[in-house]
């Protein structure tokens, strides 16, 4: 008789429904097994990535042009998890389809598995420093996927040969074993990768005191206003934007920074070389070009490092060079105008942040910070090379993806409080407050326009230098009702932030932020 939902009864996949369930389930199980095994193998080789990670990385580096604006924003902060989950779901769907086809055509399993293996292997090979071993996790994963599907689905036995229950038991036992094995392999892989992957020696590093310390913050910085952004951003609150799906873990003992290209003499520096030098500390605000109007992709820290001009001078920059193309260990590049390294601003080769060795997510052991330039043209983390070259000869990572070549930070102001519609504001004196920036130029004035009123000037807290943002505040006598507040800043050159709304791509968003506040 035919029992709905039963496994192959009375003949092989008597019901189309049986075939779908059995095929899809086997495909999913096979994909899980492949990933678990690949993860386990990848754990043994420091430079080898699991297939999902390497495919995800290829996606990051190759998103189509129309998605670029989305991409720089998206790959910015937390959405790496989304990308990895997306890649995994895609893989599982693909495996389910292959499983269903395999119930009819045995050959589908090896073909599908080979495709999986090839895409994974090809992706792994494109990663920096990938040796031939990089293909091993994907290929073994592919073979495992094929064997699991074949084992679970072939031969499709007919009910007159094997009883329904035996057949079903075979499937359930087989698939449970595979699932358990895959989970164990994957879990073990995760644990082992912590053991085998390069460990950083960040914890052993003792930062020297700066020979030239940062200016003490003037009193009046950080006025006592709830909800106002703190002047110095703690490391764990500092915005994070990079293309790295897996944070590069560099060991400072083996690390070497190469200075090369259009120089009189190539140089190389170890971390110890840098820590032995006279270090300067500066408070500088870093901003991401993908920051939107009202956005929070800007933060301020105390950076400890070596003036970049000193390093370039030791190699000797040749005539005609106009670009410093810095490259990270994971092949991100930024193109910084050499002019901005020599015009007297504090362009730094950074080894410390807020009094600690550079945190791993911030580019341990060394990164660049150049006041006044967006991060994508200046702030390379996990630095590996400084290439002296020209803009005509070489294009940096985001330049190749339609972003600008020259990208000074634009004048910008943001309202931190009130927080807009969701915020409960009671009538009376209300502190309106926020931050404004034009790093390296400085902010002279922040103004607010409330409803149809005239522009009124906000109070500015003091700043240690023109390289940081400024905290502003305004005492507003709020009356009940719905109100609009618009903010704009004027920089130290007397230029007022433009009201023209443009998107971040190619060289930074502009426009005034406007919030709506409901006062009760
Ligand atoms: N290696 C590497 N460095 C990088 C990036 C990257 O993707 N990879 N992104 C840059 C960008 S776009 C910005 S805005 C800053 C952000 O630095 P943070 O994450 O410390 O805030 O890092 C820059 N340095
Ligand atoms: Mo950025």
Domain-located, residue 7: no
pLDDT of residue 247: 85
Residues 417 and 340 in one domain: no
Residues 380 and 345 in one domain: yes
Q: Which two tokens stand for residue 247?
A: 């944070």
Domain-located, residue 214: no
- Give the integer Cα–Cα distance in Å for 186 and 189: 5
pLDDT of residue 340: 98
Domain-located, residue 389: yes
Domain-located, residue 179: yes
DSSP string, 336-384: EETHHHHSSS--EEEEEETTEEPPGGGTTT-EEE-TTB-GGGT--SSEE
Residues 248 and 126 in one domain: no
CB-based contact 484:452 (threshold 8 Å): no
Domain-located, residue 219: no
CB-based contact 65:217 (threshold 8 Å): no
Among 351, 374, 401, residue at a domain's last position? 401
Atom of ligand 1 nearest to the CA of 248: 1
Residue 450 has φ and ψ, to the nearest 5°, of -105, 120
Nearest to 100 by CA among 17, 23, 18: 23
CATH number at 476 reads 2.60.40.650
Among 367, 401, 435, residue at a domain's last position? 401
Residues 384 and 278 in one domain: yes
Domain-located, residue 272: yes
Residues 26 and 175 in one domain: yes
Tens digits of pLDDT across the chain (520 residues): 444 444 444 455 656 677 888 899 999 999 999 998 988 888 887 667 778 888 888 877 776 655 655 555 555 556 677 778 888 899 999 999 999 999 999 999 999 999 999 999 998 888 777 778 889 999 999 999 999 999 888 877 654 444 566 677 777 888 888 888 888 888 887 777 766 666 678 988 999 999 999 999 999 999 999 999 999 999 999 999 888 888 888 999 999 999 999 999 999 999 999 999 999 999 999 999 989 999 999 999 999 999 999 999 999 999 999 999 999 998 999 999 999 999 999 999 999 999 999 999 999 999 999 999 999 999 999 999 999 999 999 999 999 988 999 999 999 999 999 987 778 899 999 999 999 999 999 999 999 999 999 999 999 999 999 999 999 999 999 999 999 999 999 999 999 999 999 998 899 999 999 999 999 9
The strand ranges marked E within 167-261 are 257-261
Buried b (16+ CB within 10 A) or exposed e, 159-197: eeeeebeebbeebeeebeebbebbeebbeebeebbeeeb
Residues 305 and 385 in one domain: yes
Task: Report residues whose beta carbon is within 6 angstroms of any ligand 1 atom.
Answer: 238-244, 286, 288, 328, 330, 332, 362, 375-376, 379-382
Q: How far is the CA of 371 from the centre of ligand 1 (A)?
A: 14
pLDDT of residue 190: 75
Residues 32 and 127 in one domain: yes
Residues 390 and 427 in one domain: no
Q: What is the pTM of this model?
A: 0.85
Q: Provide the residue range defining the domain that includes 368.
A: 235-401
Surrounding ion ligand 2 within 5 Å at CB are 241, 288, 375-376
Q: How far is the CA of 80 from the centre of ligand 1 (A)?
A: 14
Among 165, 196, 227, residue at a domain's last position? 196
Strand ranges across the sheet with 470-478: 412-417, 428-437, 470-478, 459-460
CB-based contact 510:501 (threshold 8 Å): yes
- Give the integer Cα–Cα distance in Å for 461 and 222: 7
DSSP string, 412-460: EEEEEES-STTS-B-SEEEEEEEEEE-TTT-EEEEEEEETT---EEPEE
> First CA to last CA across the chain, in angstroms?
70
Residues 368 and 419 in one domain: no
CB-based contact 351:274 (threshold 8 Å): yes
Residues 383 and 448 in one domain: no
CB-based contact 458:448 (threshold 8 Å): yes
Residues 277 and 327 in one domain: yes
Q: How far is the CA of 44 from the centre of ligand 1 (A)?
A: 28
pLDDT of residue 54: 83
Instruction: Please tell me the residue having the least CA distance from ligand 1 atom 16.
Output: 241
Task: Please tell me the total count of domains within the chain.
Answer: 3
Residues 64 and 99 in one domain: yes
pLDDT of residue 160: 47
Q: How far is the CA of 376 from the centre of ligand 2 (A)?
A: 5
Domain-located, residue 208: no
Which DSSP letter does residue 277 get?
A: S
Atom of ligand 1 nearest to the CA of 382: 1
- Give the integer Cα–Cα distance in Å for 420 and 482: 11
CB-based contact 412:291 (threshold 8 Å): yes
Q: Which two tokens stand for residue 117?
A: 């293996």
Domain-located, residue 489: yes
CATH number at 294 reads 3.90.420.10
């Amino acid at each position: 008789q035919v029992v709905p939902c039963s496994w192959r009864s009375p003949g092989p996949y008597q019901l189309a429904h049986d075939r779908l369930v059995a095929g899809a389930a086997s495909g999913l199980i096979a994909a899980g097994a492949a990933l678990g095994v690949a993860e386990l193998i990848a754990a043994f080789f420091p430079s080898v990535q699991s297939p999902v990670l390497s495919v995800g990385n290829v996606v990051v580096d190759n998103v189509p042009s129309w998605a670029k604006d989305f991409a720089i924003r998206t790959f910015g902060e937390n959405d790496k998890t989304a990308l990895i989950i997306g890649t995994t779901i895609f893989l599982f769907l693909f495996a389910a389809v292959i499983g269903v086809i395999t119930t009819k055509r045995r050959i589908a399993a090896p073909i599908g598995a080979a495709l999986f293996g090839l895409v994974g292997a090809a992706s792994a090979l494109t990663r920096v420093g990938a040796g031939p071993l990089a293909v091993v996790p994907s290929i073994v994963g592919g073979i495992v996927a094929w064997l699991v599907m074949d084992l679970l689905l072939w031969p499709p036995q007919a009910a007159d040969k094997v009883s329904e229950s035996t057949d079903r038991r075979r499937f359930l036992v087989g698939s449970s074993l595979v699932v358990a094995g895959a989970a164990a392999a994957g879990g073990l892989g995760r644990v082992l990768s912590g053991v085998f992957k390069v460990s950083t020696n960040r914890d052993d590093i003792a930062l020297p005191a700066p020979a030239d310390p940062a200016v003490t913050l003037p009193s009046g910085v950080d006025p006592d206003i709830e909800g106002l952004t703190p002047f110095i951003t703690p490391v764990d609150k500092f915005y994070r934007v990079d293309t790295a799906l897996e944070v590069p873990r560099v060991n400072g003992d083996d690390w070497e920074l190469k200075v090369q290209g259009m120089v009189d003499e190539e140089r190389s520096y170890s971390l110890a070389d840098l820590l032995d030098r006279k270090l300067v500390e500066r408070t500088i605000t870093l901003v991401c070009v993908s920051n939107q109007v009202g956005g929070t992709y800007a933060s301020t820290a105390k950076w400890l490092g070596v003036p970049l001009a000193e390093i370039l001078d030791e190699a000797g920059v040749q005539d005609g060079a106009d670009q410093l193309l810095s490259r990270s260990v994971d092949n991100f590049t930024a193109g910084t105008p050499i002019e901005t390294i020599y015009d007297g601003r504090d362009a730094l080769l950074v080894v410390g942040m807020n009094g600690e060795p550079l945190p791993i997510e911030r580019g341990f052991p060394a990164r660049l910070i150049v006041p006044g330039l967006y991060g994508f043209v200046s702030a390379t983390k996990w630095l590996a090379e400084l290439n002296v070259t020209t803009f005509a000869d070489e294009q940096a990572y985001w330049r190749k993806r339609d972003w600008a070549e020259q990208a000074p930070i634009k004048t910008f102001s943001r309202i931190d409080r009130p927080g807009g519609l969701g915020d409960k504001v009671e009538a009376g004196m209300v502190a309106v407050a926020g931050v404004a920036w034009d790093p390296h130029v400085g902010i002279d004035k922040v103004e607010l326009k409330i409803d149809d009123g005239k522009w009124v000037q906000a109070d500015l807290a003091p700043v240690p230098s023109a390289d940081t943002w400024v905290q502003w505040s305004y005492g507003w006598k709020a009356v009940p009702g719905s109100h609009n507040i618009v903010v704009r800043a004027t920089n130290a050159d007397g230029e007022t932030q433009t009201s023209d709304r443009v998107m971040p791509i190619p060289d930074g968003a502009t426009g005034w932020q406007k919030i709506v506040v409901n006062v009760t």
